Structure 1
Amino acid sequence: MKKILSIIIPTYNAEKYLRKCLESFGKIREEEWRKCEILVINDGSSDDSVNIAKEFAEEQPEIFKIVHKENGGHGSAINVGVRAATGKYFKVVDADDWVDFQDAEKMIRLLETETADAIITGYWTYNIVEKARKQYDVNVADESRYYNLDELMDKWKQIEWGMTFHGIWYRRDFYKSLHYTLVEHVFYEDQEYATIPLCYAQKIRCTNTHMYVYRIGDVNQSVSSENQIKRLPDAQKVIERMMEKGRDAKKFAIGGERYWQKKLTMMINSYYEISLLKDPDRVLGRKNARDLEKRIVECSPRIAQLNKHKYQIFRMMNYLRVKDTTYQKILARIKK
């Protein structure tokens, strides 16, 4: 049977989580279920991840597939997964996350007749400490029509949660036509994945479904402060690569340059916040931020100008020894 949806699951030493992830797909009704393929991309795991995946592949070989590769990181696993995918659309789901089967069924039915280059959806987070789910929505007035990025940028507050790794789906033929590969052996390539390919999308569908359940609250995740500080060099590599890809902006779809600029600015500001407010070594944090700022000026003076004000504010707060927790409280008050 021709597959409608390929699920790509980058997997590296995920034995604690993989079974829950794979079992969540099994709850989908058979009518929709058999239109899917689940690709477990084994990124050189040394734990029991492969054996867990084999259980599912042996039971339902027409749906579950295992692709083996040498360790190359999350981006490398996505690159391999896209090449192996046969579905009309594909979605990347991390091995420590899972899916809501009811919204998965809705999405599969939608994809059967869909022609959009990309689809933007909402998602859930599940906090493993608080045992609580939170819903992140995508709200547009008309889900029956297609949008371009210029229109979506005008609705940013209504759709921003969907413009992320967890919310974006790509049509396989569209993505492969870009001949695009993600940077490998680094963290934060998900920022690139949610930005550069989407810049070329001419037809985008928005739907307020929530298939993806994103597990949060784990101190080992890349979003924890300690890991954010440790992985600043990776963040800089991804920022530099995204700046480089911006040189191709004339080939972007309508609104693509606006979107690229917005996402890149957000990532740069996040880098400044981590280095200048979260890093306990204030001197080293200033050096890291200063080095990045110099690279941005060299590569893209326009982007440097857009981020100049935030950089100066974070730098001043660094000298005043303002903590990130204080900064977040100030932001929360401003938003009220």
Structure 2
Amino acid sequence: MNKALTIIIPTYNMEKYLDKCLRSLVIEKSDTLALLEVLVVIDGATDKSLEIANQYQETHPETFRVIEKPNGNYGSCINRGLKEATGKYIKILDADDYAVTENLEKLVLFLSQSDVDLVITNFQKVNERGEIFESSKFYAQPDTELNFSAIDPKKTMEMHMVTYKTENLRALGYTQTEKISYTDQEWIFMPMVTVQKFYYLDITVYNYLWGREGQTMDAAVYLKSQTQLMIVCLAMIREYKNCETDFTHKAYLTERLYKNLKRIYRTALVDNPDVDLQPLIAFDGLLKRQSRDAYKLVSRCKLRGRYPYIWVWRLLKYKRTPSLIKYFL
């Protein structure tokens, strides 16, 4: 049977969470489950992740497939999964997250009849106990086919929401940066240029675990990994510069780029006043050389809409202004 959806699950030492993740994908109706392909990409894991994944492959061989590979971090798992996917559509599910099973079933059935380039669904943040503490919905007219221009680039767009048509990503020659984290931002960047028509299916499919110790969004981990996001942003800028697309898609890419650049500068200059600024200074120089447009773009960042702290920081030759920042916070 032709697969409607491939779900890629990058997996590195996730034995604590993987069973719950995979169990959430076991749709009760066998004919619907047969439309789903799940690629569990074991990224050189040293725990029992492979054993857990193999159990699902043995129980549901028509749906689950385990792929073992040497460790190459998140992007390498996506790249391998994209090569092996057979589904008409493709989606990413992190191994510490899990699906809302009954809504995943609705998504799979919808995709089996759909031909749009992108399907957007909702997600919710959950804690370790499975308690929902934040729900994120998309801002567009629900349950209807829309042009890409209906996407407001300033509104929430996260990788948990998106399901792309697989053939579009392959035609684009899409790959994610390997050996580093935070490449999920690439997943909601360049692939969007392939989207002409999308559909907002107003259901919550994705449970995003928030607050796990050691996850990339943990504040302490993120601060230590700033250079990785810098590498991701520079890769996005290279793609951005070489992209020939229409105004609507360019506006979306510009806003995504701005949000990621803003996060880098704010983390170092505002949120962590004692952090070493040498990595940011080096990044700022690279940004200026690589893209004057992106360099100017980030200058528009202001605290409370008034204080252009990045512009001032550059004007003062990379000196901090803690009193002014404190005043405007």
Q: Which amino acid aligns with 1:75?
A: G
Q: Which residue of 2 aligns with 1:29?
A: 29
- Tell me what 1:151 maps to: 150
1:141 is matched with which residue?
141
Are 2:230 and 1:228 aligned? no
Separation (CA, whole Å) in 2 of partners of 1:220 and 1:191:
19
Q: Deviations over 1:305-334 (max 9, x none)?
A: 22113274267695316899x98xx5xxxx
Distance 1:319 1:134, change over 3 A: same
Deviation at 1:85, TM superposition (A): 0.7
* Counterpart amino acid of residue 68 in structure 1: E
Aligned to 1:278: 271
Residue pair 2:39, 2:67 contacting (<8 A) in 1 also: yes
> Residue 66 of structure 1 corresponds to which residue in structure 2?
66
Rounded to whole Å, the distance in 1 between the matches of 2:6 and 2:209 is 21
- C-alpha distance in 1, partners of 2:103/2:130? 23
Q: Within the alignment, does 1:313 sit opposite 2:309 as a pair?
A: yes
Q: Which residue identity is paired with 1:119?
A: V
Aligned partners of 2:204 and 2:132: how far apart in 1? 15
2:105 corresponds to which residue? 105
Aligned equivalents of 2:228, 2:267: Cα separation in 1 = 13
Question: Residues 65-97 of structure 1: CA distance to partner in whole angstroms, max 9, x if unpaired?
Answer: 101111101000000001111011111100000
User: Partner residue of 2:191?
Assistant: 197
Answer yes or no: is 1:165 the counterpart of 2:159.
Answer: yes
Gaps (5+ residues) in structure 2? 303-307, 314-318
Change beyond 3 A, Cα 1:10–1:308 = same
Distance 2:137 2:235 in 1: 29
Q: Which moved more, 1:65-74 or 1:272-281?
A: 272-281
Q: Which residue is equivalent to 1:334? A: none
Q: Distance in 2 between matches of 1:222 and 1:212?
A: 18
* Equivalent position of 1:180 in the other structure: 174
Question: CA offset at residue 277 of structure 1?
Answer: 2.8
Deviation per CA, 1:185-244, whole angstroms, max 9, x where unpaired? 011110011111112322222222210110001231111111111111111111111110
Tell me the equivalent position of 1:13: 13
One-letter code of the match for 2:248?
G
Give distance in 2, aligned partners of 1:91 and 1:28.
20
Give the length in aligned residue pairs: 318
Cα distance in 2 for partners of 1:319, 1:219 equals 32
Q: 1:50 to 1:295 in 2, by over 3 A?
A: same
CA distance in 2 between partners of 1:299 and 1:137 (Å): 35
- One-letter amino acid of the structure 1 residue matched with residue 63 of structure 2: I
CA contact (8 A) 2:139 2:151 kept: no
Provide the TM-score with structure 1 as the length reference: 0.88
CA distance in 1, matches of 2:130, 2:143: 33
Question: Which residue does 2:316 correspond to in 1?
Answer: none
- Which stretch of the first structure deviates more once superposed, 200-209 or 2-11? 200-209
Query: Could you tell me which amino acid in structure 2 is paired with residue 279 of structure 1?
Result: N
Change (3 A) 1:62 1:323: farther
CA change 1:71–1:137 in 2 (3 A) is same
Sequence identity of aligned pairs in percent?
27
Matching residue of 1:260? 253
Query: Distance between the aligned counterparts of 2:323 and 2:214, measured in 1?
Result: 26
Query: Could you tell me whether the CA contact under 8 Å between 1:3 and 1:35 is conserved in 2?
Result: yes
> Counterparts of 2:196 and 2:274 in 1: how far apart (Å)?
45
Q: Which residue of 2 aligns with 1:288?
A: 279
Matched residue SS, 2:250: helix
| Preserved contact between residue 10 and residue 78 of structure 2 (Cα < 8 Å) | yes
Letter in 2 for 1:228: Y
Letter paired with 1:319: T
Q: Deviations 1:264-288 (Å, cap 9, x if unpaired)?
A: 0000000011122333534x13x33
Residue 298 of structure 1 is matched in structure 2 by 289
Q: Offset at 1:32? A: 1.5
**2:237 match: secondary structure:** helix
Whole-angstrom distance in 1 between the partners of 2:181 and 2:216: 8
User: Which structure shows the bigger proportion of residues in helix conformation?
Assistant: 1
- Residue identity in the other structure for 1:199: V
Q: Does 1:207 align with 2:201?
A: yes
Which segments of 5 or more consecutive residues in structure 1 lack a partner in the other structure?
A: 331-336
Report the AA paired with residue 85 of structure 1. A
